[in-house]
Amino acid sequence: MSGVKDVVYGSRLYQLSLRGRFPHGLAFYPENLWPGDVDRANDLFRGRFHLAGESVEVGKNPPWFGAEGSDAWRAELQGFRWLRHFQAAGGDSATRAARSLAGSWLTHHPGYDPFIWRADILARRLMSWCLHADILFKNAELTYRSDLLRSMARQARHLARVVENAPTDLGAVTAATGLAFVGLCLPDSRAWTDKGLVLLTDQISRQLRSDGGHVSRSPYILHQVLQDLILLKRTMMNIGEPPPEPLINAIDRMTPTLRMLRHGDGGLGLFNGGTEGVATDIEQTIRRSGIRGKPNLSAPKAGFERLQGGHTALIADFGGPAPEPGVGYAGLLSFEMSHRRERVVVNSGASRPASQQWERALASTAAHSTLTIADTNAVGVPDAGRRRKRRLEAEALRTESADATWLDMMHTGYQERYGVVHRRRLYLDRDGRDLRGEDRLEVADRRKLSVVPFAVRFHLHPSASAVMAQGGDAALIRLKSGRGWRFRVAGATLKLEDSVYLGEGAPRRSQQIVASGDLDSSDVTVQWALTLIDGADA
């Protein structure tokens, strides 16, 4: 069906239908809320486009043809968000470069293209052109200015017709936000704003959990959605128009949850296909939200819990009340831990640019700091030939006192194949110096039991190095700052193995601590502890 639509949209008759009165300028010049980076602008001057975690050298030629980047790289290129770096650089050179690239885009893309005119990409491009109208339009040559404004009007008319067809949850928010946003910026376009707000309200109700989590369960996507909502809210307020209540309420709920999913270095936890993000952007998003206060400690609908003691933060993923088998990443009951501005225990992250091979590996349970059985995944495990999907159960119970916090979690992801339930208990003392854990495989169906290996994995950040100690019964972890942690285990054999970390999208070598043993005919309990070494500054 999409092929037929593409033929129609690319036809001369349809392109003629997009004609109409074009604006001679913007009705409102919006504020750019997320400043760019001068160093990134210097890369752009040299023809180096670092987008979506991928660097592509385009040289002196415009990047629109001949540049071989991934689809994610092309989407960011065509979204023009990188204009913010030129604006950060300022000066005549940056203005000339921005206008040259926009002008060459008009030359190279005179008509419809299925990818370039995809609803979410088109919406991002229109928002970027409006946000950076100063460098694109101010005192610009009349023909170039008219051509760019005419193109904006044509693209906006198409967006208004196809906005409901945006791909993915994030894309649907971007498309609806973009339509509402461009309707505020272009004159006589209020109908677009009204339509965009209706669609955005619907997407908020579909995608946002009551505790502020996103349906993707990805901290990275949560941040991206929140950025778009804040931009629209602030633009409406600057115009003097009250934002709709669902938009305000969404930002109120999402901001404390985003805070919850940050580590001491300001970046995000690595859960469900996300990377760390840019700490300064995340901090700016939180400030621009206008929502003050502490992080959420519990987001039961989103499936996350946060333990905080002293300068130690722990983020745990229990999957939510009813995680779907075979959907998303398989890191049930995984956790990450940071101390001050240093990450200690981590998950493996996500590849940028996206790679099918990397994605499959990084989505596995073994790529997370949790327990695995026989190197199989805790979600997406086949149902032994059954056609009907089983119901996967997961839960978390939090208990707090003046001295410590306990977190009891469980999931049934291994019950169908191996007959056991995984239970994990975490304890963090008030000062953040003592983290203890217990992983228990509890027999639920003896008919399914067999002798299979299990492993409890603790992936370490690349800046943390570990060595065996105490004759193999413990491991010492040394951080870049010089601080150290002692890891001890009972009920399993301790060893160190190689690992890989993709917190920023590119692979880096790291280590993992592995506590292993065999599942047999009875319950298995593994107890472990991470203790800040005496004398280290807490």
- Are β-strands 54-57 and 48-51 bridged in parallel, bridged antiparallel, or unpaired? antiparallel
Give me the architecture of the 304-532 domain, per CATH: Distorted Sandwich (2.70)
pLDDT digits (tens, 9 = 90+) for 477-515: 999 999 999 999 999 999 999 999 999 989 999 999 999
- Spatial contact of 176 and 40, defined as CB atoms under 8 Å apart: no
Q: Where does 246-311 show beta strands of DSSP type E?
A: 298-299, 304-309
Residue 268 contacts residue 262 (beta carbons within 8 Å): yes
The pLDDT assigned to 322 comes to 64
Provide CB contacts within 8 A for 11, sequence distance 6+. Answer: none
d(C-alpha 350, C-alpha 327), whole Å: 16
Contact between 362 and 501 under an 8 Å Cβ cutoff? The reply is: no
The tokens describing 299, both together, are 């987001």
The CATH code belonging to domain 2-207 is: 1.50.10.100
Alpha-helical (H) ranges within 350-505 are 356-362, 415-418
- Taken in order 224, 228, 231, 237, the sign of the CA dihedral is negative
At residue 432, φ and ψ (nearest 5 deg) are 75, 20
Contact of 24 with 186, CB cutoff 8 Å: no
Contacts of 147 by beta carbon, 8 Å cutoff, 6+ apart: 103, 106
pLDDT value at residue 323: 65
Coil, strand, or helix at residue 43?
helix
Which residues of the chain are modeled with pLDDT < 50?
325-327, 381-388
Q: So what's the pLDDT on residue 385? A: 40
Given the DSSP bridges, would you call strands 342-346 and 394-400 parallel, antiparallel or unpaired?
unpaired
Structural domain spans, the chain: 2-207, 219-295, 304-532
pTM of the model: 0.94
Cα separation of 116 and 122, whole Å? 7
Condensed to tens digits (0 to 9), the pLDDT of residues 136-154 reads 998 899 999 999 999 999 9
pLDDT at 256: 97
Cα three-residue angle 222-225-229, rounded to 5 degrees: 130
Distance from CA of residue 528 to its chain's centroid? 30
